[in-house]
Structure 1
Amino acid sequence: MLLALTDVDYKFLYVDVGTDRCSSDARIFSATAFREALEINNLGLPEPEPLPDDDTFVSFFMIGDDAFALRSWMMKPFPDRNMTRQQHIFNYRLSRARHVVENAFGIMASR
């Protein structure tokens, strides 16, 4: 099983290879030293920055699927039940952002 973290420029930042095939991504991630470092804020992540053309500061975070636990540093989709229009839009945009990881694997496979 392979677990990977990429940035928006398709660069692999973290890779975990060789875990038991029966484990989910969330379970694999929960057993990593990387997750432990995130939990104790020991990775030296950048300070929050304002969004473009805005003065609202936003923290850096990762994007996961619904198997991951919601954390201050992990965004995940809303459950499919009884979603509002805004939640549907959020899930769509989050899904689009997750395509970066899929594209990173496609780029790597083509080389």
Structure 2
Amino acid sequence: MFKSPQHSGSAYYNYKKSFSIVLLAICDANYVFTYVDIGAYGRQSDGGVFKNSLMGQKFAQGQMNVPPAEEIYEGSSKYPYALVADEAFPLSPYLMRPFSGRDRLSTEQKIFNYRLSRARRTIENVFGILAAQWRIYRKPIIGKVETIENIVKATITLHNWLRKKDISNREQSFISAGMIDEEANDGSIIEGN
């Protein structure tokens, strides 16, 4: 979120009725950003941003060096690697999204949506960590779009460096207790702060 640039019209005006640029990202299970696209207009849908981004185009063209399909367990069918996304994204061979139409879903579809949602929690948490750890995201940023993009790049780079340091030292000093979502023994979700 940022203060509207002069003469930008509605290009950066988003559905939350504020001005923003889009940070589209992929992360790993350790809350490390692995690929980011920064700077699309806030008015664009996430699916549209992905389709038009270099990342989305490379996925569509099969140029992202994704490992080949493999067995989940010995003797099982081979399954492809795929991105996990929400309903704003189109279904594709490299991207899974939930089934739509909550009222008409079969039990199997509801279970799939639940498990997909659990997998998506990682990227939702990494965005939450970024916003919680870097105070600049707590209020609208005043600056040129280019400066704001550089701030986002810098905080992502620092975030990744701190996460990798935690991982190599086998500690959690950057992500404090209670910051990320956790699953209770009964399967319920304890939301992080």
Report the TM-score when normalising by structure 1.
0.89
Displacement, 1:24?
1.4
User: Out of 89, 105, 111, which is 2:111 matched to?
Assistant: 89
Deviations along 1:28-77, one digit per CA (max 9) or x if unpaired, are: 11111111111111122111121135522110000111121110101000
User: Out of 129, 134, 140, which is 1:107 matched to?
Assistant: 129
Larger radius of gyration: 2
User: 2:128, 2:75 → 1: CA distance?
Assistant: 33
User: 1:81, 1:20 → 2: CA distance?
Assistant: 33
Q: Is the 8 A contact 2:37 2:55 kept in 1?
A: no
Aligned-residue CA RMSD (Å): 1.6
The answer for the alignment partner of 2:76 in structure 1 is: 55
The answer for the alignment partner of 1:25 in structure 2 is: 46
Higher relative CO (CA 8 A, sep ≥ 6), structure 1 or 2? 1
The answer for the alignment partner of 2:31 in structure 1 is: 10
Aligned-residue identity in percent? 35
Structure 2 alignment gaps of length 5 or more: 1-21, 134-173, 175-193
User: 1:97, 1:51 → 2: CA distance?
Assistant: 16
Report the TM-score when normalising by structure 2.
0.53
The answer for the alignment partner of 2:181 in structure 1 is: none
Secondary structure, counterpart of 1:86 in structure 2: helix
User: 1:74, 1:81 → 2: CA distance?
Assistant: 23
Structure 1 alignment gaps of length 5 or more: none
